[in-house]
């Protein structure tokens, strides 16, 4: 596997220029800049991300800081309206301190839309030239951080795709990688199982409390994570969905609990708490799957394994998404969007380990530069909302 060495010692598997809008009013200008490069020879190297809000939020600023300095990012163009609350100069300095080329376009200072688009295109052209000679370096499994989420789960998810990802995580952790699972709202009922796998009793209690918090938050919001699409796909209860989701975590010890945009402090298996702290004041914990994916990428994930039964087509900006399809019929119907057919466990008698080996091969090829299905189709979805967290990730304390 080959990647790109960054100033902080991390290694990226992509070398993209990120065009980032800092408020919805700058979205159009940023999008037009990124769209200019869609048909070029390096169309896959320019990605659009952004934050729609205007009111300040520590979570959003930390997310953006981590995304703009992600190891898969080579350079950044910030697009500001000029009067939003986002601390653009601080973000700009953080990016430059990370060793990445960075430029800023302030629409109100440039004279409006047209002038800003022209300046932004020239800036991205310049940054593409700057990052082209970035030397490559060998990457080992120990250099990779892999996340997993599920979307469009069905009755097959808990017996094909999810346990196959769990087997993959077991292998990756054993070979020195860092792995992250999340979705505490889809793990309600599994709190004791999680607690028993924690590396210390204190960590176990944190994991338990995370699920209790999620349960309380969802009750305040008046809903849970069980959707109509899940029921149509054959799931019957939240308990069934939770156990299926739990399978994605595998069987290794859980090193600790982390939070969006807070990288794990050691290699191994980690759980990410995505449910805001305090009373329910920012709405749903995540309004779509891409919000969860971006939180994992903000933690440093190079690749996200996305299990789906009904057939989600979403990809993501910055880090590739590998689609692991649980349902053999969905895989046949949507082959262009799916990377792995975990449904072959049902139709062809494959084992979890057989599918694990396919996933590992796909990870290795992706980390070496091969595009995933969603990348090849141009999927670069992105979502960043408002949240509030009190806790911080802390180093895991192993028993003496």
Do 49 and 79 contact (CB within 8 A), yes or no?
no
Contacts for 376 with CB less than 8 Å, ≥ 6 apart = none
Pairing of strands 102-106, 136-138: unpaired
Contacts for 271 with CB less than 8 Å, ≥ 6 apart = 180, 181, 182, 184, 194, 207, 210, 249, 254, 256, 257, 258
Phi, psi for 254 (deg, rounded to 5)? -95, 120
CA 49 centroid distance within chain: 13
pLDDT score of 283: 80
Contacts for 196 with CB less than 8 Å, ≥ 6 apart = 204
Neighbour count for residue 35 (Cβ, 10 Å)? 15
Q: How far apart are CA 314 and CA 379, in angstroms?
A: 6
CA-closest candidate to residue 73, choices 29, 123, 15:
15
Q: How far apart are CA 79 and CA 127, in angstroms?
A: 15
pLDDT score of 64: 97
pLDDT score of 398: 38
pLDDT score of 266: 95
Q: How far apart are CA 28 and CA 13, in angstroms?
A: 29
pLDDT score of 248: 94
CA 290 centroid distance within chain: 7
CA 173 centroid distance within chain: 18
Helices (H) and strands (E) in the chain, counts: 15, 14
Phi, psi for 257 (deg, rounded to 5)? -110, 130
pLDDT score of 186: 85
Three-state secondary-structure class, residue 314:
coil
- Torsion from C-alpha of 216, 265, 46, 41, nearest 10 degrees: -130
pLDDT score of 142: 97
Q: Quick one: residue 245, left, alpha or beta (phi over 0 = left, psi -120 to 50 = alpha)?
A: alpha
Q: How far apart are CA 206 and CA 329, in angstroms?
A: 39
CA-closest candidate to residue 144, choices 391, 307, 355, 368:
368
Contacts for 365 with CB less than 8 Å, ≥ 6 apart = none
pLDDT score of 399: 34
What is the end-to-end Cα distance of the chain in Å, rounded?
A: 36
pLDDT averages per 10-residue partition of the chain, 400 residues:
92 97 98 92 87 93 97 98 95 97 98 98 97 92 96 84 96 98 89 96 96 91 68 66 83 96 96 91 86 96 95 96 96 97 96 97 96 96 92 51
């Amino acid at each position: 596997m080959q990647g790109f060495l960054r100033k902080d010692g991390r290694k990226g598997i992509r070398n993209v220029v990120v065009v980032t809008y800092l408020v919805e009013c700058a979205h159009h200008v940023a999008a037009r800049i990124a769209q200019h490069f869609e048909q070029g020879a390096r169309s896959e190297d320019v990605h659009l991300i952004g934050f729609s809000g205007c009111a300040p939020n520590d979570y959003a600023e930390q997310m953006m800081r981590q995304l703009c300095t992600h190891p898969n990012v080579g350079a950044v163009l910030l697009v500001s309206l000029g009067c939003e609350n986002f601390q653009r100069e601080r973000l700009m300095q953080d990016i430059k301190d990370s060793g990445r080329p960075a430029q800023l376009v302030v629409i109100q200072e440039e004279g409006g839309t047209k002038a800003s688009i022209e300046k932004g295109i020239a800036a991205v052209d310049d940054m593409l030239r700057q990052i082209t000679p970035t030397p490559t370096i060998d990457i080992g499994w120990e250099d990779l951080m892999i996340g997993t989420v599920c979307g469009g789960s069905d009755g097959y998810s808990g017996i094909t795709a999810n346990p196959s990802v769990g087997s993959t995580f077991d292998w990756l952790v054993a070979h020195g990688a860092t792995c992250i699972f999340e979705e505490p709202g889809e793990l309600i009922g599994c709190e004791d199982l999680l607690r028993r796998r924690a590396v210390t009793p204190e960590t176990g209690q944190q994991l338990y409390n995370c699920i209790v918090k999620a349960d309380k938050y969802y009750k305040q919001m008046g809903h849970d994570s069980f959707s109509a699409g899940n029921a149509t796909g054959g799931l019957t209860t939240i308990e069934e969905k939770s156990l299926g989701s739990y399978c994605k975590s595998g069987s290794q010890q859980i090193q600790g609990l982390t939070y969006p945009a807070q990288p794990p402090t050691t290699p191994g298996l980690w759980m990410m708490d995505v449910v805001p702290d305090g009373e329910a004041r920012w709405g749903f914990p995540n309004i779509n799957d891409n919000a969860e994916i971006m939180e994992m990428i903000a933690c440093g994930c190079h690749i996200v394994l996305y299990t789906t039964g009904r057939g989600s087509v979403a990809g993501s900006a910055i880090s590739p998404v590998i689609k692991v399809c649980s349902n053999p019929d969905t895989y046949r119907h949507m082959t262009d969007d799916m990377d792995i057919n975990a449904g072959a466990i049902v139709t062809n008698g494959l084992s979890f380990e057989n599918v694990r080996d396919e996933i590992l091969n796909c990870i290795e090829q992706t980390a070496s530069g091969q595009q995933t299905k969603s990348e090849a189709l141009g999927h670069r979805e992105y979502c960043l909302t408002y949240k509030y967290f009190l806790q911080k990730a802390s180093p895991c304390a192993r028993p003496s």
